[in-house]
Amino acid sequence: MGRMKFLFVILLLGMIPIPGWGQEISLRGKVTDASSGEPIPFASIVIADLFKGTSSNLRGEFLIKLDSLPVRLIFSHISYHKQEMMVESPEYFEVRLTPGEIVLEELVIEDEERGEYAYDLLSRALSVAVQHSRDWEYGLAFYRQTSQNADDYSELYEIFYDTRFSSQGIADWAIQEGRYAMKTGYDAIDYVYNKNFTLLTRLVTMFQPQTDKFVMPVNENVRELFDVKIKGLTDIQERKVAVIEFEPKEEIFVPAMEGTLYIDINTYEILKLHGSIRNDNLELVALNNPTGR
């Protein structure tokens, strides 16, 4: 009996926070566009010299755990200039990123020519992507999946992992950290349906994979499948980059991606693909190989 009481006391003591003993600092903030004031989703926030960090959510908000202050943070996004900031206080703060410079005056594109130029860039990008499809790269990756009911986001997956990838997509990954959150209680709806995101990471590539179950914009048949246009040309980290908006044509009924592509106009490398899948009927997606490979 005495031992049980002693153990109970120890457990209670373990629940009492002792100032200065292993307490983390929760640093919260928001990343916004310096010109419009709009939130910037998926901005990268990294602790300088540690290569550890997080990214902003769909509202531009972020939370990062720190051992101590002050700390130097690096904020970046492919569409904005990188910014560094020394943070000395745990108070909530806002970071305003400056949009990348528009350089349309250096390469004049008439409105009626923008579509044709966009198709030409996509064709060249496909050639480059296929040519380097077996050039393996290694790096850190971040995956986020959200579920939405009306205007409210109800469920969230976030995963950080090491990965081996090429322009054909992700070949291997090792999960380092994962987060999950769910909000329920929407009147009669008390559950949320989610798709298999590990299947998506294998299936979605930088160019059209060998499937007719859904279509991507970097495709040899892009003219028949997508409407595309040049949104603008920007100067990003000494690269001249075309920002191409794309959406599937109205007669396309299979799941198809819509969104924005960033292509280097000199090397035709695809720097970023940001999009969502229209007609997200992903039960149509199946593995043809019975071994699952």
| Whole-number percent of the chain with pLDDT over 90 | 26
| Whole-number percent of the chain with pLDDT over 70 | 71
> Helix (H, G, I), strand (E, B), or coil: what is residue 144?
strand
Q: Compute the distance between CA of residue 275 and CA of residue 33 in angstroms, rounded to an integer.
A: 20
Q: Bridge partners of 211? A: none
Q: Compute the distance between CA of residue 149 and CA of residue 191 in angstroms, rounded to an integer.
A: 10
Domain map (residue ranges) of the chain: 24-97, 104-284
What does pLDDT average to over the chain? Answer: 76
How does residue 7 score in pLDDT terms, banded at 50, 70 and 90?
Answer: very low
> Phi, psi at residue 29, to the nearest 5°?
-165, -170
How does residue 109 score in pLDDT terms, banded at 50, 70 and 90?
Answer: low
* Sign (positive or negative) of CA dihedral 112, 118, 121, 127: negative
Mean pLDDT value across residues 105-112? 56
Predicted local confidence at residue 108, as pLDDT: 58
Tell which wins on pLDDT, 49 or 27. 27
Whether residue 264 has pLDDT greater than 60: yes
> Helix (H, G, I), strand (E, B), or coil: what is residue 84?
strand
Gap between the terminal Cα atoms of the chain: 58
Tell which wins on pLDDT, 194 or 99. 99
Whether residue 152 has pLDDT greater than 80: no
24-97 under CATH 3.20.20.70, yes or no: no
Using alpha carbons, select from 268, 249, 251, 271 the residue that is nearest to residue 260.
271
Predicted local confidence at residue 12, as pLDDT: 36
Q: Compute the distance between CA of residue 92 and CA of residue 29 in angstroms, rounded to an integer.
A: 5
> Helix (H, G, I), strand (E, B), or coil: what is residue 13?
helix
Whether the CB-CB separation of 198 and 141 falls below 8 Å is answered with no
Q: Compute the distance between CA of residue 289 and CA of residue 210 in angstroms, rounded to an integer.
A: 13
pLDDT, tens only, 229-258: 998 888 877 788 999 999 999 998 888 889
DSSP 198: H
Q: Compute the distance between CA of residue 194 and CA of residue 37 in angstroms, rounded to an integer.
A: 32
* Sign (positive or negative) of CA dihedral 125, 110, 228, 103: positive
pLDDT, tens only, 127-140: 988 888 778 888 77
Q: Compute the distance between CA of residue 241 and CA of residue 207 in angstroms, rounded to an integer.
A: 18
Predicted local confidence at residue 202, as pLDDT: 59
Name the amino acid, one letter, at 231. K
Name the amino acid, one letter, at 133. S
Whether the CB-CB separation of 209 and 218 falls below 8 Å is answered with no
Predicted local confidence at residue 91, as pLDDT: 92
Question: Who's near 110: CB < 8 A, 6+ residues apart?
Answer: none
Predicted local confidence at residue 28, as pLDDT: 92
Predicted local confidence at residue 183, as pLDDT: 65
Q: Is the peptide bond before 217 cis (omega within 30 degrees of 0)?
A: no
Q: Compute the distance between CA of residue 252 and CA of residue 279 in angstroms, rounded to an integer.
A: 10
Vertex 31 angle, CA 200 and 230, to 5°: 60
pLDDT, tens only, 167-226: 777 777 777 767 666 665 544 444 444 455 555 555 567 778 777 778 889 999 999 999
pLDDT, tens only, 34-92: 989 999 988 889 888 876 788 888 889 998 888 888 999 999 888 888 899 999 999 99
Outline where DSSP puts E strands in the chain.
25-33, 44-47, 52-55, 61-66, 71-77, 80-87, 93-97, 101-102, 137-149, 152-166, 169-182, 226-236, 239-248, 256-264, 270-278
CB neighbourhood size of 144 (10 A): 15
Predicted local confidence at residue 150, as pLDDT: 67
Tell which wins on pLDDT, 9 or 214. 214
